[in-house]
Amino acid sequence: SLKAFDTKEWLELEEVIKCNKERNIVDPFYYSFIESDVTDFEKARAEYLYGRYLADNDYEDEAKKHLEYNKKYLDAMDKSNEILNLIARIDYSSAKTYISKDYLGSGLENSNLTKEAIKKYPDEAYFIITNGWRLIYTPQIAGGSNKNAIKGLEHLLKEIDGLSISNRYSLYGALATAHFNRKNYKESREYLSLAFDIYYGEPPLLELERDLEKKLK
């Protein structure tokens, strides 16, 4: 569903943020996109992306302000498309977890929304990938499993050309992370390289790259 939103303007914004460019580069793309004639769903996605970028670069107060903007666009968006509504709600709960570090409240909300979404729409790529990340980050005692994450994600590789750029990048990043956690370092490096062919510079994947280099010395 997200591939329909891979416009030139969105991909330019996504690239400068995912590559963690300086704010004097990122901000003009953000304002140009958010002030353009796009839907509230697209604006909510932009706020989700930009808020995480601000948090990664220690602009915590600004990140929280953009979290409020994210909620404003989420509340205003057309709710007739349930898939897009679920995507926006999952993004927002993820942003709350990431920015506010509310792992119990927002983290549980995000997990429950993801489980609801994958049950209703098991073939939607965004939900498959998000569920993969959920399984990666959930403790094993609470149902997490890197093995099951890999199993759920791998079949999307056959449909890679039909995925949005953001889904493609997130898929490779999730597979790289899950394989690293299972000590499959060669496979992890291969998937991380594929992710970096799309975007290079996002802090969590740079950290994974550093951890891989230590293991592969």
pTM: 0.93
Neighbours of 160 (CB within 10 A): 13
Tokens 């602009």 correspond to 59
Token pair belonging to 54: 């601000």
The larger pLDDT score, comparing residue 24 to residue 1, is at 24
- Average the pLDDT over 117-127 and give the result: 96
pLDDT tens profile 191-216: 999 999 999 999 999 999 999 999 98
d(CA 150, CA 158): 14
How large is the C-alpha radius of gyration of the chain? 17
Q: Which whole-number Å values give the CA distances from 203 to 21, 66, 153, in the listed order? A: 11, 19, 22
**Residue 81 predicted with pLDDT over 70:** yes
Please tell me the distance from the alpha carbon of residue 22 to that of residue 53, in angstroms, as a whole number: 10
Tokens 């549980």, located at residue? 108
Q: What is the pLDDT of residues 151-188, one digit of tens each?
A: 999 999 999 999 999 999 999 999 999 999 999 999 99
Nearest to 43 by CA among 83, 9, 82: 9
Closest of 38, 207, 154 to residue 192, by C-alpha = 207
Structural tokens at position 81: 């498309």
Cβ count near 141 (within 10 Å):
6
The DSSP symbol for 182 reads T
Length of the chain counted residue by residue: 217
Return the pLDDT at 107: 79
